[in-house]
Amino acid sequence: MSEIKKADEISALRERFKKKGFGVKSWATAHGFSHAMVSLTLDGKFSGKNRSRKKVSRKIITKLKEDGVYEGEFAWEVSDEK
């Protein structure tokens, strides 16, 4: 995925997050996640493919999808573009 496309997707994700009226820190606390992990997930650093943080980032993305913030397929279900 190109860097521009990834940046656009991250921007759109953060915008949907704001439109839902969530604050990152309060959302993270309410759902039992660390603020840092949620921020890194929103920034695209953790996508659910990363082994070391896989379980937490997948839970965050799944909950964001339930809350209507994360749209589309899950990162770990999409094959890498070449």
Residue 66 resides in a domain: yes
Report if residue 68 sits inside a domain. Answer: yes
Residue 82 falls inside a structural domain: no
Q: Total domain count for the chain?
A: 1
Model confidence at 32, in pLDDT bands (50, 70, 90)? very high
- Give the pLDDT confidence score for residue 79 in this predicted structure: 53
Other Cβ atoms less than 10 A from the Cβ of 24: the count is: 17
In a domain, 14, yes or no: yes
Question: Which tens digits make up the pLDDT trace of 59-70?
Answer: 888 888 888 877
Is residue 20 included in any domain, yes or no? yes
Contact present, 46 and 52 (Cβ < 8 Å): no
Q: What is the pTM of this model?
A: 0.68
Measured distance CA(54)–CA(74) in Å, rounded: 12
- Kindly state whether residue 70 falls inside one of the protein's structural domains: yes
Residue range(s) defining the domain that contains residue 64 = 3-77
| Residue 32 forms part of a structural domain | yes
- For residue 58, being part of any structural domain is answered with yes
> What is the distance in angstroms between the CA of the first residue and the CA of the last residue of the chain?
8
